Amino acid sequence: MDSSEQCCKICGAELETADALQDPLFVRCNQCQTVSALSCSEEQPQNSHSRPDVPMPKNIQMTEQGGELTITRRWITLKGLFASAFFFAFAGVAAGMTWMLIRDFSQLEPHQILGVVPFTIVGIAFTYFGLAALLNTTEFRADVMGLRIRHSPIPWPGNARIRRDELDQLFCKEKACTSGGGYRSGPVRTSYLYELHAILANGRSRKLLKNLEDPKQALFIEQKLERFLGIADREVSGEFMGYSRF
């Protein structure tokens, strides 16, 4: 679609090429001043390729308002519930061991006091992991300036801010995880996890999201962010191409 035929998503006014910003992928509405990504369907690179729309998966919410796209992913899963139960149980055991050691604190020898520290650290760490698995979300916010990623409410590594001119491509990767194969553990079992990566303008790859059990989550986020930011989708070596499953 030519930009002259595209309408503002907020007020419905027609967008004109004369209103384009310095970045040709974006245009500002001269009525409400909302910044929108231009449709580029007629100017796709030769190596671009269209893919079917990925349906919105579970634990994903998406809103678009005021020239900003927000995609929120909840961390909680069935496996996450079991993991959280394990974390809290282990934390309880650690807390019990700590209490047994410190209830007669005044009578403890120095080496016994030091023995309390590992149980305390383990208990705090496992409680932290359990709360994060239950409560956390990952939020993607895209606008004319670029992409922001935030994990909350429990602080977690991986928050990022990437400028629009630094983003070249988004893609999904599949990671095989094997277990078993031993005398007691039975035959080898393979499971798969999925990751969302970004290729930056300098050619480097940056991991944005990992340990996803559902590939549709990574593919959905990739597709919506690329379309909103005006990134022409193209095939990347090693990316997950499981669209036929949906």
Residues 71 and 118 in one domain: no
Q: Is there a single domain that holds both residue 165 and residue 225?
A: yes
| 173-191 average pLDDT score | 75
Tokens standing for 173? Answer: 């990767």
- Predicted confidence (pLDDT) at residue 189 exceeds the cutoff of 70: yes
Q: What's the pLDDT at 184?
A: 63
Q: At 105, is the pLDDT very low, low, confident or very high (cuts 50, 70, 90)?
A: low
Residue 1 has pLDDT above 50, yes or no: no
Range(s) of the domain holding residue 191: 55-75+136-245
> Do 65 and 161 lie in a common domain?
yes
Say which residue, 178 or 107, is predicted with more confidence.
178
User: 36 in helix, strand or coil?
Assistant: strand
Residue 147 inside a domain? The answer is yes
* Residue 147 sits in the same domain as residue 241: yes
| pLDDT above 70 (res 165) | yes
Higher pLDDT, 148 or 182: 148
Residue 191 covered by a domain:
yes
pLDDT score, position 4: 41
Same domain as 116, residue 38:
no
Residues with Cβ within 8 Å of 163's Cβ and at least 6 positions away in sequence, in order, are 145, 146
pLDDT classification of 143: cutoffs 50, 70, 90:
very high
> Is 161 within the bounds of a domain?
yes
Percent of the chain clearing pLDDT 90 (strictly above): 39
User: Looking at 44-58, 77-91, 215-229, which range is the least confident one?
Assistant: 44-58
Q: What is the pLDDT of residue 121?
A: 80
Residue 3 pLDDT level (bands cut at 50, 70, 90): very low
Instruction: Determine which of 7-16, 44-53, 148-157 has the lowest per-residue pLDDT on average.
Output: 44-53
Mean pLDDT of 214-223: 93
| Number of structural domains found in the chain | 3
For residue 163, the model assigns a pLDDT of 95
Residue 126 lies in a domain: yes
User: Which domain-ending residue is among 134, 149, 172?
Assistant: 134
Gap between the Cα atoms of 9 and 13, Å rounded: 8
Residues 39 and 60 occupy one common structural domain? no
Is there a single domain that holds both residue 223 and residue 123? no
Question: Does some domain include residue 173?
Answer: yes
What one-character DSSP code corresponds to residue 47? Answer: T
- Among 155, 238, 244, smallest CA distance to 197 is for 238
Residue 49 lies in a domain: no
- 17 in a structural domain: yes
Residues 82, 151, single domain; the answer is no
- Check residues 109 and 125 and name the one with the higher pLDDT: 125
225 closest CA partner among 22, 21, 64, 57: 64
pLDDT of residue 193: 92
Between 38-52, 116-130, 230-244, the lowest mean confidence (pLDDT) is in 38-52
Segment holding 91, helix H or strand E? helix 78-102
Same domain, 20 and 98: no
CB 45 within 8 A of CB 56: no
Q: Does residue 129 sit in the same domain as residue 147? A: no
The domain that holds 214 is classified in CATH as 2.30.29
Residues 3 and 97 in one domain: no
Res. 191: pLDDT tops 60: yes
Query: pLDDT at residue 185 above 70?
Result: no
Same domain, 99 and 8: no
* 206 inside domain: yes
